[in-house]
Structures are given as C-alpha cells and as structure tokens.
C-alpha cells in the first residue's frame, strides 16, 4: 500500500497534461463537422468560433470539477460527489442516468461512427448490423478480463493520433485553401444564439473526458499548483488541435459540403491521398473510434457494478457478480446491451446529443456543488482550489445552464424530445430509488431483529 501511495504522487505537470489530452481526444473531431455545419446552414464562421468558446467552457468546467474531485476522493466519481454534496438520492440519480443513458448512448454513437467509416469498404446498407457487432465484440473482449480491456485501450489510444496528425499536416500541404473559414459567419435566417447552443452540444462530445481530472489529481506531487496548469494546458492543446484540424478540413472541402457527409474526415482524407490512401486513413480512424468505444464500455460497466455492489441498483445481486476473470459480466452486458439497442437508430449525432444532455445536467449540479461546499464546509481540507473563484465556477455553471435551456426550449422538436426523455429517465429513477431504499431499510431491521 505504501508503494502504491508513493507512485500516486510521482506525476508532474507534463505527464498530467498529456493525460488530459489523451483522455479527451477521441472521435468527435473526425465526425462532428457534419453536425456543426448543418447547424450553421453550411457556413463555417460560427462553427469555428464555437470550437474556441466550447473549449473555454470545458476549461472552466474541468477547473471547477477538480476541486470537488480532490476534496471527495471516492470511487464512483460524480455519483459519490453528488451524494456527499446533496443527498444519496441525487447521487443515485446521477448513476442511474449514467448507466441507462450516458454510457450506452456514447457506446452506441461510437459504434455507429465506426460503422459509418466501415461503409467505405462494405457499403451503406450495413451500418446498424456493424455497429451492433462492434459493441458485441467489445463486450466479449472486456469479459476476458480488465487486463485485456485495458491493453486494448492503450494500443488504440496510441493509434488514434496517427490519422489526426496526417490530416492536419497534409490538409494544409495539399488542400487548395480557397474555401471560406470564418466567412460567412452563419446561414441566412438563423438565430446565432440558438445555433451556438446547438454547436456547443455537438462540440462538447469532442471535449468529453475532462471529468478524468479527479483521477489525475491523486497522482500529482503538487495538485494545488500543477493541476490548473495541466487542465488549462491540456485543454488548450486540445482546443488548438481541434481548431487547426478543422481549418485543415476547410482547406480541402467547403463547409457546405462537409455538412452533407456522415464521415467528413474520411472524405477529406480521400481528397488528399486518393482512394487507397484515404481508405488507409479511414482504417486509422476506425481504430481510434473502436478504442474510444472500448473505453466507455470499460468505465460504464464499472459505474453499474459500483452502484450494484452497494445495493443501489435494480437486480443488484446479479449485476455485482464477477466472472472467473474477475470482471462484472452482467454489468458489461447491461451497459453494452442498452448501447446496442440505441445503436439500432443508426444516428451518430442524435446519440451524442442524448449523451451530452444527460451528462451536463449532473455536471452543472457538480459545479454548483463547489459553491455549496465552500458555504457548508468552509474549513474543509482543499489541497486544490479552483482559481479565480467565484468567476470560473460561474462560467461553468452558466455554460451548463445555457446548454440545458437551449436544448430544452430553443433547438427544435428533436432536441426538446431528447431533453424530455432524459428528464423522464431521471423522474423514473425517483420511485426506483425509493423502492431500493425501503428494501435496504427492511433488510437492516430484519438483520437487527
């Protein structure tokens, strides 16, 4: 145990920054141009600016989230934080939504993205079957043991950087550069405020992963000093990479064409490298997406297992069981199985929007929780405090509220229905929690008597 504690304190700024970058960069940068330029009416300007605005919001969110994560260093992440700040019921509802909506929607979206890339090789008619096959394959791999799942994650994380670098470099070298990048700003007749909300929801998917800052903090030598540098530095690098690669895309293809493509990065690659070279890059993108999907199956199943092992989920006894490889088979089947059901939609952007709407409700509660903890526990030990308090938490809270309100009321029927669906799942969770709480209470009484 002593050795483990020493190892946890060996992380410096450079390694922590690299960890932030590695956790966040995934598939969004390869697929989101379609949703972005569809929302802007085919115009590039506001889409490019939205990458920066959303990146700044993500920095504020990560800096704020980190204070709670370090102060409440418990397994379970946001579930544990909200349980401590508010009540066990709020913590349960966060885990309930993560298990039923967030993780399955992310898994399904990534599997669909993989299948959309595969369509270059096998045709458009197999997107749903391929997506489901990907999820089943990943579930089988994860059932072989956490070492196998972890090894897959490491290999595929390294591989995802290759297509990213090639697209950035050769996009500028071989692209014509004669398409608009910042003009026009937005299509005719569109409301910039409403569109910005839609863009933030789309782009937040590409920045998903900053919630891992809590794990990083526990390994740092001087988290109070170095964590803000790692977060700001890491997310700034990500912002720069996303911004540059999107300019590279526009050097090759115009924004109104990118808006029509379900696999825009592959179309750019084919334009740059020709059919064969483009397909090789597409394989690299598929590898990246597969690795991201594996990561969400791995982490999502552990959330379900953690809740079940505390008796805090329906069918807890079954979901908490471990197989011979000491992994939670039934929890993997639950999260992956729901993901496979969502994948039947075949809609990448719809699924990512569902995931972001579900998660940001509880992220925003966590940001508010920083202020609540400062008031309720002013003398608590804080090895890290969010800088520029209360400005940074306010930016994070306002960003979260803006995203939620925009999706609920301003972004059209589909967004409203997705938001109401998320709220419906939360509401269903309330009587489920009450039933579980009552059952645990009865078991305690029986045990005492």
pLDDT, tens digit, for every residue of 105-141?
999 999 999 999 999 898 888 999 999 999 999 999 8
pTM: 0.86
Comparing CA positions, the residue from 124, 127, 150, 128 lying closest to residue 138 is 150
pLDDT, tens digit, for every residue of 29-68?
898 999 999 999 999 999 999 999 999 999 999 899 889 8
Contact status, residue 206 vs residue 23, Cβ threshold 8 Å: no
Contact status, residue 234 vs residue 21, Cβ threshold 8 Å: yes
- C-alpha to C-alpha distance for 154 and 160, rounded to whole angstroms: 10
Comparing CA positions, the residue from 245, 291, 279, 248 lying closest to residue 110 is 291
- C-alpha to C-alpha distance for 312 and 303, rounded to whole angstroms: 11
Query: How wide is the angle at C-alpha 429 spanned by C-alphas 428 and 434, nearest 5°?
Result: 110
Q: Pull the structure tokens for residue 288.
A: 């990246």
- C-alpha to C-alpha distance for 39 and 46, rounded to whole angstroms: 10
The domain ranges of the chain are: 2-448
Q: Is the previous residue joined to 227 through a cis bond, with omega within 30 degrees of 0?
A: no
The domain made up of 2-448 is a member of CATH 3.30.590.20:
no
pLDDT in tens, the chain (449 residues): 344 334 345 567 777 777 677 768 777 889 899 999 999 999 999 999 999 999 999 999 989 988 988 888 776 678 889 999 999 999 999 999 999 999 999 999 999 999 999 998 988 889 999 999 999 999 998 888 756 655 655 666 666 678 888 999 999 988 888 888 999 999 999 999 999 999 999 999 899 877 766 656 666 777 777 878 888 888 888 899 899 999 999 999 999 999 999 889 999 999 999 988 888 888 888 888 888 888 888 888 888 888 888 888 898 889 888 888 788 899 999 999 999 999 999 999 899 999 888 889 999 999 999 999 999 999 888 888 999 999 999 999 999 999 899 888 877 888 899 999 999 999 999 999 999 888 877 666 655 45
Could you count the other beta carbons within 10 Å of the beta carbon of residue 404? Answer: 19
- C-alpha to C-alpha distance for 135 and 342, rounded to whole angstroms: 11
Query: How wide is the angle at C-alpha 103 spanned by C-alphas 99 and 106, nearest 5°?
Result: 155
DSSP 182: S
């Amino acid at each position: 145990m002593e050795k483990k504690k020493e190892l946890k304190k060996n992380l410096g700024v450079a390694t922590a920054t690299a960890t932030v970058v590695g956790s966040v960069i995934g598939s969004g940068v390869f697929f989101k141009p379609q949703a972005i330029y569809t929302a802007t009416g085919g115009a590039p300007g506001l889409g490019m600016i939205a990458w920066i605005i959303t990146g700044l919001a993500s920095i504020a969110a990560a800096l704020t989230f980190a204070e709670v994560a370090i102060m409440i260093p418990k397994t379970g992440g946001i579930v544990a934080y909200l349980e401590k700040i508010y009540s066990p019921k709020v913590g349960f509802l966060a885990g309930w939504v993560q298990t039923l909506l967030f993780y399955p929607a992310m898994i399904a979206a990534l599997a669909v993205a993989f299948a959309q890339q595969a369509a270059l090789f096998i045709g458009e008619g197999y997107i749903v079957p391929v997506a489901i096959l990907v999820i089943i394959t990943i579930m089988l791999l994860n059932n072989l043991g956490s070492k196998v799942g972890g090894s897959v994650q490491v290999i595929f994380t390294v591989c995802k950087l290759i297509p990213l670098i090639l697209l950035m470099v050769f996009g500028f070298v071989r692209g014509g550069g004669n398409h608009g990048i910042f003009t026009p700003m937005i299509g005719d007749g569109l409301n910039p405020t409403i569109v910005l909300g839609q863009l933030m929801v789309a782009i937040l998917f590409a920045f998903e992963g900053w919630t891992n800052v809590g794990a990083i903090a526990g390994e740092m030598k001087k988290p109070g000093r170095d964590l803000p540098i790692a977060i700001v530095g890491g997310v700034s690098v990500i912002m720069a990479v996303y911004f540059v690669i999107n300019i590279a895309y526009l050097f090759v293809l115009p924004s109104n064409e990118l808006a029509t493509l379900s696999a825009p990065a592959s179309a750019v690659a084919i334009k740059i490298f020709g059919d064969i070279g483009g397909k090789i890059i597409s394989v690299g993108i598929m590898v990246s997406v597969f690795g991201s999907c594996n990561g969400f199956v791995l982490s999502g199943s552990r959330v379900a297992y953690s809740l079940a092992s505390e008796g805090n989920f329906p069918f807890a006894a079954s979901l908490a069981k471990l197989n011979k490889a000491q992994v939670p088979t039934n929890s993997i089947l639950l999260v992956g199985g729901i993901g496979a059901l969502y994948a039947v939609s075949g809609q990448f952007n719809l699924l990512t929007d569902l995931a972001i709407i579900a998660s940001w409700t509880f992220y925003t509660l966590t940001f508010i929780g920083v202020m609540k903890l400062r008031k309720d526990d002013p003398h608590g030990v804080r090895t890290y405090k969010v800088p520029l308090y209360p400005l940074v938490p306010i930016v994070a809270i306002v960003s979260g509220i803006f995203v939620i309100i925009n999706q609920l009321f301003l972004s059209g029927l589909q967004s409203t229905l997705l938001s109401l669906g998320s709220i419906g799942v939360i509401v269903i969770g309330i009587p489920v929690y009450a039933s579980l709480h009552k059952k645990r209470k009865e078991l305690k009484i029986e045990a005492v008597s």
